[in-house]
Structure 1
C-alpha cells in the first residue's frame, strides 16, 4: 500500500511540475508569436495525442514520464523541409534575442511562481508547527553564549541594523530568520519571553562559513525545540534499554538528575558515557501518546504535552558501539526516541501568505544555489544529490502526512527544478540563456560548432550528476 501511495504521489508531483514548467515555455512562446508544434509530457512512444484545431499544436502524453518538452517551429530543425514563407515570421530562430531569452527563461520562472503559490496556499490555510520554545542549549554554542538557558519562547527577531523586529510565530519561522541572517553574515537580536519577562539575546552570525550551514544548522547554533517531552518510541530487543526496563511510551524526565526534554542532548550524553551506569527518571501512565521516529534519532511531533504519570528511576549502562559517522566508539542504549513539543497553528492572510511564499521561495533558491556551489568546490558532500527514487520516497511520505506537507514538498521540488534548469550547463535552459547573453553582448550568435562542443560537455555533466544521484538513491535504500 505504501509503495502504491509513493508511486501515485510521485506521478502527480512529476506530472504537475513538468506541465507547469513546459507551459511556461509554451505560453510565452505563443505571446511572442512563435508557432508551437508539440507539447509533450514525457518522452518516447506517444500514448495519447490530440491536435488543437485552433493552434495546430500537437498535445502528447508519452510513455516515459520523467520530463517533457515543447517543440517550436525552427528553421535549424527543418533543413530538409523548407518552411513556408507565410510561417517564417513564426519561427523561433527569427525572433529577437530577448524574446528567445524570455521564452527559455519562462520554464524555470513558472516553477518559481508555482512554488510561491503553493507556499502561499499552505500559509493561508494554516499549518501546525512546533512552537518557538528553546531547549537548554549545549555549552559553548552560540545560543549558550548569548545567554539562553532553556524554556524561553522567542517572539521576535531583528536582523542587522533593522529598526523594527519581525514576529517569530513558530520554530520553522525562527529557523528561516536565523538561516537568512547566517547567509547574509549578519547579527540577529532575538526577543524571548520567560517567567521573568521579555529579554533580548544577541547572536553574531557573521563568523559562520558556508560549511556551517547545513541540515543541522540549528543544532550547531545550540537551538533545539524545547518545552516538550522526550518519549521512548521503541526499544530494540536485547539492548541496554530493554535490560534496564524501558518500554515504549515511557517519558524521559531526567538523566543523572539533570532534566532532559530534547533527544539531541540526551543522545549526546549517552554517547559520552559508554559503559558507565546512568540513572534515568521516567514517567509512565498519564495521557502521553506514542510517536514514531528513527532509531537513535529525534522526531518532532505536534502533540500536546502529556499529563503527570508515575515517576520511576531506572539504571542503564550504555553499550559501546562504533559510530558510523565518526568511526569512534560511543555509547548507545538501543531506544528509539521522539520529542513531543508544544505546537501552534500558524495561519496568515492572503496577501501576507503570498509575500511569505515569495520570501520562502527566494530563500530556498539561494540556499540551493549555494549548496550546489559548495558541492562543486568540495565543501559539501555529493551525497546531498537525490534522484527519482528519493523523490518518490519523500513524495509518498509527504502525501501520507497530509495536504500541507505534500504541497510544501511540491513547492520544494519545483524550486529545485527551477534552479537546476537555470544552471549554465548546455542542454539545460541555463545553457541556452548563456548563449543568448553572449549573443546580446557581442552581436553574434554562438556558432553551431561551439554549441555542439558545449552540448556534449553539458550532456556528460548531466549524465554524471544523474549517475551520482542514482547511486545515492541506491545507497540510501541498502544503507551502505
Structure 2
C-alpha cells in the first residue's frame, strides 16, 4: 500500500507543478496582452479551494487533478460589458492570441530547461556503461563482458541509463544501432546491433531481454554503508563504516563477496562468524542470519547490511557549466520524443508504448525514491512531453488554436464558429480515444 500512496502523492506533485506552470504561461501572457482572466484553475470540476484577486480573477484548485485551464473574457462564451470589450480575448490582434496559445507549451519548455539544469547542479547518480556477460542481440554483435559503451549512432554515451534509453529506442523501431565500445583491454571497436532482425511479434516488455545487455556491477569495498533496524546485523552491533574481513573463515575482498557468502554459508548454518575491522580495532562478531521468502516463493538468508553508494558515474556540473548541458539534454530528449512519436504514427512502434496516469504515477514514485536529481529528470521529461503534445495541430489543444490563428492570418478572417465547434468535437474524440488506449495499456501492465 505504501507504493500505492507514494505513487498517488508523486503523481499529484508532478501534475500540480507542471499544470500550474503551463497554465501560468497562458495567464501571464494574457495579462501582458491586456486580456481579462476570469479564472485560473488547476484541475477540473468542482473547486476545492478558491480565492479572488484585485483584478477579479478567480484562482482555484479543483477536484480532478488531470489538467487545468485559464478562462478568459470572450464574447463567444458570454455577454461582455461595453466597458470591458477592450479586454476581451476575441478582440485582440491575432498575433497576441497566438502568443497566448503558445505560452503554455513555451513555459513547459522553460520548466524543462530549468529542471535539467538543476538536475545537473544537484548531480544525477548513475553507472558507467560497462557491460557484464551479454546475451541476445548484443552477444551476436560481438559485445563482450567488460566493454565500455562510448557512443551509440554517433552520440557520446556517459551513463548506463543513457545507453539503455538509446538502445531501447532503436529496438522499438527495429533500427540497427551502431555501438562504439572500449574493450577491457583498452582497444576501440565498433559493433552493430541488428535490431532489424528482431521478429515483429516480440512484445515490447521482452525487448530488453532480447537486447541482452546487463550492467557490470561496480566493484565495491566490503564496507557497510547501511544497517537495517531490527535485523541481525543491527542486533549484533555492526555499524556503518565497518569493514567485513572474513565470514566463517573465508576472506572477503568486495561487497559482492558478502552478498554471495552470507546466503551460501547461512544455508549450511544460519549462525555466522564475522571478523570486522572498525577504525584500528578488529572485532569478532557472531550473529544468526534471517531467512526471508521472496514473492516467487524462493527463500534466502540476509543479515541486514547494505553497501556504500554503488554509483560510479554521477553527472554533476557547476552553475554555469550546467546551462549548456541542460540545453543539450533538452534537445536530445526532444529528438528522442519526436522520434518515438513518428514511429508510433508510421506503425514502426506498437501503440502498447502509450502510457497513462497510472504508469506516470508509478514512474513518478520510482524516480522520487532514487533521489532529487532523478525526480527532476522525470519532471523535465514529462514537462517536455506536455509541450510537444500540446503543440500538435489537434483542435482543443494549444496547437489546434495556433492552427486556427495561422489560417486566420492567411485568409484575413477568423475560422468560422461552426468549423471551430466541429473541430473541437473531433479533437475531443481523438483525445478520449488516446486516453482510453493509454488507460487500457496501464491496466494491462498492472495485470502482467
TM-score (norm 1): 0.66
Cα distance per residue 1:334-368 (max 9 Å; x no partner): 8799xx97633231222332333333333333333
| Pairing 1:32–2:33 present | yes
Aligned partners of 2:195, 2:446: CA distance in 1, in Å?
38
Q: 1:342 to 1:73 in 2, by over 3 A?
A: closer
| Pairing 1:440–2:435 present | no
Q: Say which of 143, 149, 153 aligns to 1:148.
A: 143
Q: Who is 2:19 aligned against?
A: 18
Q: Who is 2:360 aligned against?
A: 391
Whether contact under 8 Å (1:22, 1:68) holds in the other structure is yes
Whether contact under 8 Å (2:49, 2:61) holds in the other structure is yes
Aligned partners of 1:358, 1:159: CA distance in 2, in Å?
20
Cα distance per residue 1:61-118 (max 9 Å; x no partner): 222222111111222223xx23324x33322222222221121111112112212211
Cα distance per residue 1:446-472 (max 9 Å; x no partner): 111111111111111111112112222
Aligned partners of 1:181, 1:174: CA distance in 2, in Å?
11
Q: 1:356 to 1:334 in 2, by over 3 A?
A: farther
Whether contact under 8 Å (2:169, 2:340) holds in the other structure is no
Aligned partners of 2:67, 2:253: CA distance in 1, in Å?
46
Whether contact under 8 Å (1:43, 1:62) holds in the other structure is yes
Aligned partners of 2:177, 2:352: CA distance in 1, in Å?
31
SS at match of 2:320: helix
Aligned partners of 2:153, 2:166: CA distance in 1, in Å?
8
Q: What is the 5 A alignment of 1:339-354?
A: 343-354=312-323
Whether contact under 8 Å (2:108, 2:386) holds in the other structure is yes
Q: What is the 5 A alignment of 1:466-477?
A: 466-477=435-446
| Pairing 1:355–2:324 present | yes
Aligned partners of 1:288, 1:409: CA distance in 2, in Å?
37
Cα distance per residue 1:122-146 (max 9 Å; x no partner): 222112212121234447x46754x
Whether contact under 8 Å (2:43, 2:66) holds in the other structure is yes
SS at match of 1:344: coil
| Pairing 1:56–2:56 present | yes
* Cα root mean square deviation, aligned: 4.0
Q: Who is 1:460 aligned against?
A: 429
Q: Who is 2:277 aligned against?
A: none
Structure 2: gaps spanning 5 or more residues: 220-248, 265-295, 301-306
Q: Say which of 87, 92, 96 aligns to 1:95.
A: 92
Q: 1:219 to 1:346 in 2, by over 3 A?
A: farther
Aligned partners of 1:285, 1:405: CA distance in 2, in Å?
38
SS at match of 2:67: strand
Q: 1:180 to 1:109 in 2, by over 3 A?
A: farther
Q: Who is 1:197 aligned against?
A: 186
Deviation for aligned residue 1:150: 2.3
Deviation for aligned residue 1:421: 1.4
Q: 1:372 to 1:335 in 2, by over 3 A?
A: farther
Deviation for aligned residue 1:2: 3.2
Q: Say which of 330, 340, 350 aligns to 1:381.
A: 350
Q: 1:186 to 1:476 in 2, by over 3 A?
A: closer
Whether contact under 8 Å (1:123, 1:348) holds in the other structure is yes
Aligned partners of 1:180, 1:60: CA distance in 2, in Å?
40
Q: 1:393 to 1:425 in 2, by over 3 A?
A: same
Q: Who is 2:122 aligned against?
A: 125
Aligned partners of 2:22, 2:53: CA distance in 1, in Å?
20
Deviation for aligned residue 1:406: 2.3
Q: 1:142 to 1:387 in 2, by over 3 A?
A: closer
Whether contact under 8 Å (1:286, 1:307) holds in the other structure is no
SS at match of 2:341: helix
Q: Who is 2:214 aligned against?
A: 224
Whether contact under 8 Å (1:39, 1:59) holds in the other structure is yes
Aligned partners of 1:62, 1:309: CA distance in 2, in Å?
52
Deviation for aligned residue 1:178: 6.4
Aligned partners of 1:205, 1:438: CA distance in 2, in Å?
45
Q: Which has a greater percent of helix?
A: 2
Q: Tell me the matched-pair count.
A: 377
Whether contact under 8 Å (2:116, 2:377) holds in the other structure is yes
Whether contact under 8 Å (1:108, 1:417) holds in the other structure is yes
Q: What is the 5 A alignment of 1:360-439?
A: 360-439=329-408
SS at match of 1:63: strand
Whether contact under 8 Å (1:383, 1:472) holds in the other structure is yes
